[in-house]
Structure 1
Amino acid sequence: MFKRRTPLPFHKKAGAVLWPRGGWRRSGAYVAHRLRRLPGTPYRIAAGFASGAAVSFTPFIGLHFVLAALLALLVRGNIIAAAIGTAIGNPWTFPLIWIWTYSLGRWVLGADSLTALPDDLSFQHIFENPLEVLLPMVVGAIPTALVAWFVFFWPLQRTVAGYQKARRRRLRRRLRQRSAAGGLSEPKKGARPQETRKYERQL
């Protein structure tokens, strides 16, 4: 129903991944708008997004959506927000994430210093020695993901809470205006949620 009549060629789809058609600024604004409009409490939305962002720092790329959903369920976060949060891991950020988690993991496992990737590291080396690379990345990803969860959670929770509060104020103002114009009986303060929803449907 919402698909293009003429599908985009592969090279354009790949280009859209590396650089969104509307630019990163517009894409970021769209993501922020989607997050603010999600149903749920500020905690659930922020916890869900933070879960997706945290999972993005793990090397399990093909499982990011699944792991984000499981983590969101564990912390009682919003699963849709978790899926959006996995966008933190993208072709532009993955190289930096992988270098950091691998270097940190090697240091935690006993390397002499926190250094970048070794000179002999290549795709062939990774395929021939998966645990030699994967184990340090997993070890480095665990503390990094934990820190990332809180870094994204706290500011997003405050942002969503402020947006929802302002939205409720605007809604109450419109309800009062329409009530005065149409003669509708506005729900009393402290009314049950179903009474408020019934009133909104009348508008």
Structure 2
Amino acid sequence: MVFKRRDRRTPVQIASEFVYPRGGWTRAFHYVKHRVRRLPDSPERIARGIGAGVFAAFTPFYGIHFFIAALGARLINGNILAALSGTFFGNPLTYVPIGVICLQSGHFLLGTEFDEGDKRSFLGKFADAAGDLKDNTIALFTSREADWHDLGVFYDEVFYPYMIGGIIPGLVAGAICYYLSVPVIRAYQQRRRAKIKAKFDAIRKKAEAEADPLSKAD
């Protein structure tokens, strides 16, 4: 296949590069920024897409953030490719503070309590819920009795508060990224158009200069 990697990565390499990219997070950030700036669309639509992607990073739907971002961009007439790039806002370096903010906000709005120091209230309950899903899937094909207790605890104490609490911080972060992105993208596009125009002007002048002696000779 033409696009197949020559150096096949092991599962360990894939996992490690997800946590820390080969070129570092700074290089990855600049790559995404460069790709977003070069999108052939208006600054406003690109910025709306970025905002939708940032908002998606504040949702608890891990694994389908791309889909949430694309749907959000579609609803607000934003650039879908920019929305996919905007989900970069959520990464292994920001997932923990985003999760804490969303959980604290959600429990506050719901009138419940969130104990930040209790690891079982966040990381442990993810593992418990995953264990419930695995065991109950096996129970469908065996005589084992299904038990949804841990999954119910995860929904009540983590997922639902996270989902409710992520709305306001997600909207705020998305709006900030929108208003910061518009002037930056506009300035970049104007500078890029000026460079392209100057390049074509130089080519035209060179062509005219080469053609001028020929016309005089005639």
Q: TM-score, normalised by structure 1?
A: 0.83
Is 1:116 the counterpart of 2:140? The answer is: no
Give 2:215's aligned residue: none
Aligned in 2, Cα 1:177/1:119: closer, same or farther, shift over 3 Å? Answer: closer
* Among candidates 132, 137, 146, match of residue 171 of structure 2: 146
Shift of 1:96: 1.5
Letter paired with 2:186: A
Stretches of structure 1 that go unaligned for 5 or more consecutive residues are 185-203
Q: Which moved more, 1:85-94 or 1:123-132?
A: 123-132
Letter paired with 2:21: P
Give 2:155's aligned residue: 131
Is 1:160 the counterpart of 2:174? The answer is: no
Stretches of structure 2 that go unaligned for 5 or more consecutive residues are 130-149, 210-218
CA distance in 2, matches of 1:172, 1:92: 40
Q: SS in structure 2 opposite 1:91?
A: coil
Shift of 1:67: 1.0
CA distance in 1, matches of 2:10, 2:64: 26
Shift of 1:18: 0.7
Give 1:187's aligned residue: none
Give 1:6's aligned residue: 7
* Structure showing greater Rg: 2
Shift of 1:36: 0.9
Q: TM-score, normalised by structure 2?
A: 0.77
Shift of 1:50: 1.3
How far does the alpha carbon of each residue in 1:9-64 deviate from its partner, in whole angstroms, 9 at most, with x for none?
A: 11111110111111111111111111111110111111111111111001011221
Runs of 4+ in 1 over 4 A off after TM superposition: 117-120
Give 1:30's aligned residue: 31
Shift of 1:115: 6.0
Aligned in 2, Cα 1:108/1:117: closer, same or farther, shift over 3 Å? Answer: farther
Identity %: 34
CA contact (8 A) 1:102 1:117 kept: no
Give 2:142's aligned residue: none
Shift of 1:128: 4.1
CA contact (8 A) 1:47 1:76 kept: yes
Aligned-pair Cα RMSD in Å: 2.0
Give 1:177's aligned residue: 202
Letter paired with 1:145: G
Give 1:198's aligned residue: none
Letter paired with 2:92: P
**Equivalent residue pairs, number:** 183
Shift of 1:116: 2.9
Shift of 1:130: 3.0
